[in-house]
A and B are shown apart, each in its own frame.
Chain A
Amino acid sequence: MQVDRRLGWIAGAALFAGCAIAAPWLDGFTMSLLTLVFLFAWFGQASNLAMGFTGQLSLGHALFAGLGGYAVVIITTRYGLSPWFGLLIGMPIAAAAGAAIGWLAFRFGVRDVYFALLAIAVAEMMRVIFSNWNFVGGTGGIFLPALSPTNEPLRTLRGGALFYYAAALFLATAGTALLAWLRGARIGYLWRALRDDEAAARALGVRAPLHKILACAISAAMTALGGALYAHLNGVIFPDSMMGMALSIQIIIGPILGGLGTVFGPLVGALVVVPLGEISGTLGQSLGISGMNSIGYGLALILLIGLLPGGLWPAIVAGVQSLWRRR
């Protein structure tokens, strides 16, 4: 426990500070890759909160990313209002959607695999509805206009590679700090108690419905914020790319590989998973076998979870601990 936390703080602080200081020297590719790493670390923290802290396996997080992304894009392109206002609308909408799913699940006793499928069902329904809804551009999506030369990134929440890098780094840092804080806070204890044994926790006075719904809502709002940045980063938003199963799966792979329920797992997971996708792509490309990327990525996933039962972060902690003892 203690090593875990101390190592985490040292490694986390070093990583975030290092990435912030190194920014001017990074080449465009590394910066773009790290931008995705940090963005998915944030997504990972959001799902870690629902999945790792509260034990709700959600396979529909793309829904919240989509809601956040659409809110911001629609507010700015259709109404010409500030993207901050879009966030102000999108995050509560996503939180409400998350809370509604959490409430339904609680009210009707939907758990485990069934909860995962409930989340998929809601997300897929919304994807189909968005695909057929002209107001949100249907499957045609919404394209963001090019930036004006006098663009102020903090006003438009759009900018060049450096802006997105900084924003993603900020989110990853904030997300990790938030989870570290929540883990030691009253609500964090209550969430983990609910995850480990809901009946026992309730018998100890933990208000299960309230806290589970709250976890869903916070997780959804966090994902919506990430979705807004993701939409801006891509410059375009489609129901398929922002609300589809593919994104939902991509969001949860990182935290699971990294170590669910730990504060630094999602960060470590994203640091491995995002470059892994890129490396396997390059591998397929260089071998000239077009399915190789998928084979390589899949095998790597199987190997990693096979060899590291608790995830990457706990394995790192255990490694450092054994080194410590040997000295």
Chain B
Amino acid sequence: MISHNAGRRAILAAGAASLALPAIGRAQSAPVKVGVLLPTSGILAYSGQVAARGIQLGAALGRGAGGPAIEIVNYDTQSKPDTGRLGVESLVRDGCSVLIGAWDSAATISAAQACEAAKVPIVVNIASAPQITEQGFTQLFRNFTPAGVLIRAAVQRIKEATDSRSPRPATAVVLYANDTFGNAILGALDKIWAQLEVPIKILDRIGYDEKARDLSVEVAKARATGADILLPITRVNDAISIVREMVKQKWNPQAIMSPGSPGPYEKSFTDALGKYADDYMVSVPWYDPRNPTTRALVARFERENPGQRFELNAGFSCEAVQIVLDALIRARSADPAAIHAALRTTNIADHPMYGGPIQFDAKGQNNNIGCVLLQDRDGAPLVVGPAEVAMGEVRYPLVPFDKR
């Protein structure tokens, strides 16, 4: 439950507004169907299911706050690229007037094309390929940072965190997963590193096959560069392998700072690595830990989903539901065109994820998403930057693995 202190917060505001609008008040008419496309099975099932829990939470919050009545209709993309289009058609046939999805960039593009034809808006909860909002889609709204923007913020965080350190790091090495995501991040990293004039020299960029199960060689190569800090761009499994190899190879750089990639904030990472997970840093979009509404929401999520951590997949999915609810209230109708028009003028100041108000530009991109610096501390991620949301200080340099 959300405390009454949060009454001014958007979700409750949404509830109040809905009471004033009998047209879609929940007792008065059939619920609006909201279609959700996520890869809840197949190779991306892990992230897809975390996102699905975020959607459930968002819907539950809306219900609890007396928001407009909605019915969530799920579609499993099975992690296949060609199901995005099929999923949209299926959901539209089932009467959905607005969609949320689709987590991975391939299914999102495929879905966006069908949305374009069906004239049904889609709120992209997660998908980072910059191209998604550059293809000229009119029905697509993305409340997630494209790789370039994410990395600009991430590099900013890294620069802040290393600027006044002693010893001051002079060199870095990149270890990156050579997949769609890793490549997008790496491409942006090089550009922005130069633009922001980070005074740290990147010595080498070592890619590895995304399917590699064994990263000993890669870590040995990275270690051999003698770099002061390691910049890993990973998924969660490879992040775990990298730390294990570092422990075994007794490599203690001054810091491990991941520019905007999954892994270190996930529960399986901290569970698998225990004390060796600590001090690993990552800059990612994250929830605002100083916002009491958000804190209540996080607590509720972790209570309702034992053993799960509220992270950005859940957070942005939850927020996507909030965006849809907000649009439904203002649209006063279940008509996709009206919802589309309402989404265009979205302006939500108070929302769980750190950043400015949620607004979409002409391309459907929200440019106000913030980025924090997380550092694992005692088996959980702690926000250590920027100052306005930090809950603790950066620990630098990292405690050598053999001294833990």
Which residues of A does B touch, CB under 8 Å? Answer: 27-29, 31-33, 36, 128, 131-132, 138-141, 143-146, 160-161, 230, 233-236, 238, 240-241, 246, 277-278, 281, 284-285, 290-291, 293-294
B183 contact set on A, CB distance < 8 A? 138-140
B295 contacts partner chain A, Cβ-Cβ < 8 Å: no
16 A-B pairs besides A131-B209, A160-B117 with CB distance below 8 A are: A27-B89, A28-B89, A28-B114, A29-B93, A32-B85, A141-B105, A141-B106, A141-B180, A143-B135, A230-B82, A235-B109, A240-B179, A277-B78, A281-B83, A284-B76, A285-B74
A146 contact set on B, CB distance < 8 A? 116, 135-137
Interface centre among B49, B78, B136, B178 (most CB of A within 10 A): B78
Q: Is the CB of A33 within 8 A of B40?
A: no
> What residue of chain A has the Cβ atom nearest to residue B84's Cβ?
A234
If the complex has contacts A141-B106, A235-B113, A293-B78, are A32 and B86 also in contact, measured as CB distance less than 8 A? yes
B341 contacts partner chain A, Cβ-Cβ < 8 Å: no
Q: Is the CB of B81 within 8 A of A238?
A: yes
If the complex has contacts A28-B93, A140-B187, are A235 and B86 also in contact, measured as CB distance less than 8 A? no
Q: Is the CB of A293 within 8 A of B180?
A: no
- Checking A33, A160, A236, A238 against B86 with a beta-carbon cut-off of 8 angstroms, the contacting residue is A33
Q: Is the CB of A290 within 8 A of B41?
A: yes
> What residue of chain A has the Cβ atom nearest to residue B209's Cβ?
A128
Q: Is the CB of A236 within 8 A of B81?
A: yes
Q: Is the CB of A31 within 8 A of B82?
A: no
Q: Is the CB of B178 within 8 A of A284?
A: no
Q: Is the CB of A145 within 8 A of B178?
A: no
> What residue of chain B has the Cβ atom nearest to residue A246's Cβ?
B80
> What residue of chain B has the Cβ atom nearest to residue A292's Cβ?
B41
> What residue of chain A has the Cβ atom nearest to residue B137's Cβ?
A146
Q: Is the CB of B106 within 8 A of A236?
A: yes
Q: Is the CB of B45 within 8 A of A290?
A: yes
Q: A36 CA to B85 CA in the complex, in Å?
A: 11
B381 contacts partner chain A, Cβ-Cβ < 8 Å: no
Q: A217 CA to B118 CA in the complex, in Å?
A: 39
B90 contacts partner chain A, Cβ-Cβ < 8 Å: yes
If the complex has contacts A139-B210, A143-B109, are A36 and B82 also in contact, measured as CB distance less than 8 A? yes
> What residue of chain A has the Cβ atom nearest to residue B187's Cβ?
A140
Which residues of B does A touch, CB under 8 Å? Answer: 40-41, 45, 49, 74-76, 78, 80-86, 89-90, 92-93, 105-106, 109-110, 112-114, 116-118, 129, 131-132, 134-137, 178-180, 182-184, 187, 207, 209-210
CB pairs A–B below 8 angstroms (22 shown):
A28-B93, A29-B92, A32-B114, A132-B178, A139-B180, A139-B182, A143-B129, A143-B131, A143-B132, A146-B136, A233-B85, A234-B84, A234-B110, A235-B110, A236-B109, A236-B131, A278-B86, A281-B41, A281-B83, A284-B41, A284-B76, A285-B76
Q: Is the CB of A31 within 8 A of B81?
A: no
Q: A3 CA to B298 CA in the complex, in Å?
A: 67
Number of A-B contacts (CB under 8 A): 116
A161 contact set on B, CB distance < 8 A? 85, 89, 114, 117
Q: Is the CB of B137 within 8 A of A28?
A: no
Q: A143 CA to B209 CA in the complex, in Å?
A: 22
A143 contact set on B, CB distance < 8 A? 109, 129, 131-132, 134-135
Q: Is the CB of B131 within 8 A of A233?
A: no
If the complex has contacts A290-B40, A293-B76, are A241 and B81 also in contact, measured as CB distance less than 8 A? yes
> What residue of chain B has the Cβ atom nearest to residue A231's Cβ?
B81
Q: A140 CA to B112 CA in the complex, in Å?
A: 18
Q: A194 CA to B83 CA in the complex, in Å?
A: 39
B41 contact set on A, CB distance < 8 A? 281, 284, 290-291, 293-294
Closest Cβ of chain A to B326, distance in Å, is: 26
Q: Is the CB of B136 within 8 A of A145?
A: yes
A234 contact set on B, CB distance < 8 A? 81-82, 84-85, 106, 109-110
B129 contact set on A, CB distance < 8 A? 140, 143
Q: A27 CA to B110 CA in the complex, in Å?
A: 18
Closest Cβ of chain A to B90, distance in Å, is: 5
B76 contact set on A, CB distance < 8 A? 281, 284-285, 290, 293
Closest Cβ of chain A to B341, distance in Å, is: 20
B132 contact set on A, CB distance < 8 A? 143
> What residue of chain A has the Cβ atom nearest to residue B130's Cβ?
A143
Q: A191 CA to B285 CA in the complex, in Å?
A: 59
Interface centre among B45, B84, B183 (most CB of A within 10 A): B183
The 4 closest A-B pairs by CB, nearest first: A146-B136, A143-B131, A29-B89, A28-B89
Q: A131 CA to B177 CA in the complex, in Å?
A: 11
> What residue of chain A has the Cβ atom nearest to residue B136's Cβ?
A146
Q: Is the CB of A241 within 8 A of B135?
A: no
Q: A128 CA to B114 CA in the complex, in Å?
A: 30
> What residue of chain A has the Cβ atom nearest to residue B39's Cβ?
A290
Q: A273 CA to B207 CA in the complex, in Å?
A: 37
> What residue of chain A has the Cβ atom nearest to residue B210's Cβ?
A139
Q: A59 CA to B129 CA in the complex, in Å?
A: 31
Q: A236 CA to B105 CA in the complex, in Å?
A: 9
A131 contact set on B, CB distance < 8 A? 178, 209
Q: A277 CA to B292 CA in the complex, in Å?
A: 44
Closest Cβ of chain A to B96, distance in Å, is: 12
Q: A7 CA to B118 CA in the complex, in Å?
A: 38
Q: Is the CB of B81 within 8 A of A138?
A: no
A138 contact set on B, CB distance < 8 A? 178, 183
Q: Is the CB of B86 within 8 A of A290?
A: no
Q: A288 CA to B332 CA in the complex, in Å?
A: 32
Closest Cβ of chain B to A321, distance in Å, is: 36
Q: Is the CB of B178 within 8 A of A36?
A: no
B106 contact set on A, CB distance < 8 A? 141, 234, 236, 238, 241
Closest Cβ of chain B to A298, distance in Å, is: 13
B75 contact set on A, CB distance < 8 A? 281, 285
If the complex has contacts A146-B135, A235-B113, A293-B41, are A36 and B180 also in contact, measured as CB distance less than 8 A? no
Q: Is the CB of B136 within 8 A of A139?
A: no
Q: A241 CA to B184 CA in the complex, in Å?
A: 17
Closest Cβ of chain A to B108, distance in Å, is: 9
Closest Cβ of chain A to B227, distance in Å, is: 23
B109 contact set on A, CB distance < 8 A? 143, 234-236
- Checking B80, B105, B117, B179 against A28 with a beta-carbon cut-off of 8 angstroms, the contacting residue is B117
A145 contact set on B, CB distance < 8 A? 134-136
> What residue of chain B has the Cβ atom nearest to residue A39's Cβ?
B82
Closest Cβ of chain A to B234, distance in Å, is: 14
